[in-house]
């Protein structure tokens, strides 16, 4: 992971290598097992960004667990109520399940803070968030992030599922926007 990469019109420098990402996910898997190993949790992975992370995390879980995948769509309200975030593809019954949301990155926290009430409305037995990356300096919407893989500075990153305008998701490691 020595060279910089070009994604569309921007240059990115190496930031988190495969070993670092893998070690962080192994730690998350162990923490989640300690808390949920006997609870048959339901993971809800938020597409597109979390597809690689959720796959690698799920492979490390050696206890019964389910996973489903959703996309979030935001709509401008016709009134001044702002954005409403709706899940597309949520076809699993959540009621009385121990739900763990899987996110690639929590930045401002806006997406999850708008989406969580929709899940809570369906009365899960418990609800927690697991994010691979967290940018605390950027967060403006408070969230209880139970599992955080790697805390990073407030700079744009790509790779390992995360995109820049749709590209760069296939990079196996994580790169940071060059200054």
- Is 147 in contact with 61 (CB distance < 8 Å)? no
35 near Mg ion, judged by CB under 5 A: no
- Cβ neighbours for 176, distance < 8 A, ≥ 6 positions apart: 12, 13, 14, 15, 155, 156, 157
State the Cα–Cα distance between residues 72 and 24, nearest whole angstrom: 26
Write each residue from 160 to 179 as x if it is in contact with ligand 5GP (CB under 6 A), else as -, in one continuous string.
--xxx---------------
107 near ligand 5GP, judged by CB under 6 A: yes
Half-sphere exposure of 164 (CA within 13 A, CB side): 19
Token code pair at residue 109: 């926290």
Q: Return the number of the residue (44 or 162) whose C-beta is nearest ligand 5GP.
A: 162
Residues pairing with 74 in the sheet:
85
Is 107 known to be catalytic? yes
Q: Which stretch binds ligand 5GP (CB under 6 A): 5-13, 86-94, 97-105, 122-130?
A: 97-105
Q: Residue from 104, 106, 115, 175 that binds Mg ion (CB under 5 A)?
A: 104
Contact positions vs ligand 5GP (CB under 6 A): 49, 103-111, 156-158, 162-164
């Amino acid at each position: 992971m020595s060279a910089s990469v070009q994604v569309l019109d921007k240059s990115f420098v190496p930031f988190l290598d495969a070993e670092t990402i893998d070690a962080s996910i192994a730690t998350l898997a162990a923490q989640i097992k300690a808390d949920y190993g006997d609870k048959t949790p339901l993971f809800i992975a938020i597409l597109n960004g979390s597809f690689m992370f959720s796959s690698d995390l799920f492979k490390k879980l050696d206890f019964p667990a389910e996973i489903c995948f959703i996309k979030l769509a935001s709509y401008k309200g016709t009134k001044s109520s702002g954005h409403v975030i709706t899940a597309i593809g949520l076809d699993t019954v959540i009621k009385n399940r121990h739900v763990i949301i899987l996110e690639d990155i929590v930045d401002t926290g806006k997406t999850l803070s708008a989406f969580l009430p929709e899940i809570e409305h369906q009365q899960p037995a418990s609800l927690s968030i697991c994010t691979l990356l967290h940018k605390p300096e950027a967060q403006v919407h408070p969230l209880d992030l139970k599992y955080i893989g790697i805390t990073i500075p407030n700079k744009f990153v790509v790779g390992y599922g995360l995109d820049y305008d749709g590209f760069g998701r296939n990079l196996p490691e994580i790169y940071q926007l060059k200054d």
